[in-house]
Structure 1
Amino acid sequence: MSTRAVARRCGVTDETVRDWRKAGKLSAKRTPGGHYRFDPVEVDALLKDDTAADVEVAV
C-alpha cells in the first residue's frame, strides 16, 4: 500500500504515516523509485491495536 492509501485507510494525513514509519510503528519497503510501500496486514493490525489510539495524529 502507498503512503496515501494507508493515510486514507487510517483517517490520518500522509505526514502522520511518515511519522509512524520513522518511529517504527509501521515498517515499509522502498521501491526502486524511492517510494514506500506498506503491508496491508500490518496496517490493519495497527488499526486494531489498542495502542494505536496513543499515536499522535498530525493535523
Structure 2
Amino acid sequence: MSGKNWHSATHVWKDLVRPSTKAKAARAKMMRGAGMPVSKIATQLDLSRSRIYELLRP
C-alpha cells in the first residue's frame, strides 16, 4: 500500500487507515504514473504539495 502519515508523537511514518485517504493516495499515484507534476496533482485533489508527497511515499 502506498502512502504514509507522519505520527508526530512517536516520530514514525504510519500506513494510511481511512478508505478516503487511501483512495486519494491511489489517485495521486495513478496521476503521477501518467507523468503529471505534483503541483497539478495537488491542485486537482485540493491538497498541498507536501501532502501529495506523503501520499506518494512507498
Question: When the two structures are superposed, what TM-score results if normalisation uses the length of structure 2?
Answer: 0.28
Question: When the two structures are superposed, what TM-score results if normalisation uses the length of structure 1?
Answer: 0.28
Which one has a bigger Cα radius of gyration? 2
Q: Quick one: higher RCO (CA 8 Å, sep 6+), 1 or 2?
A: 2
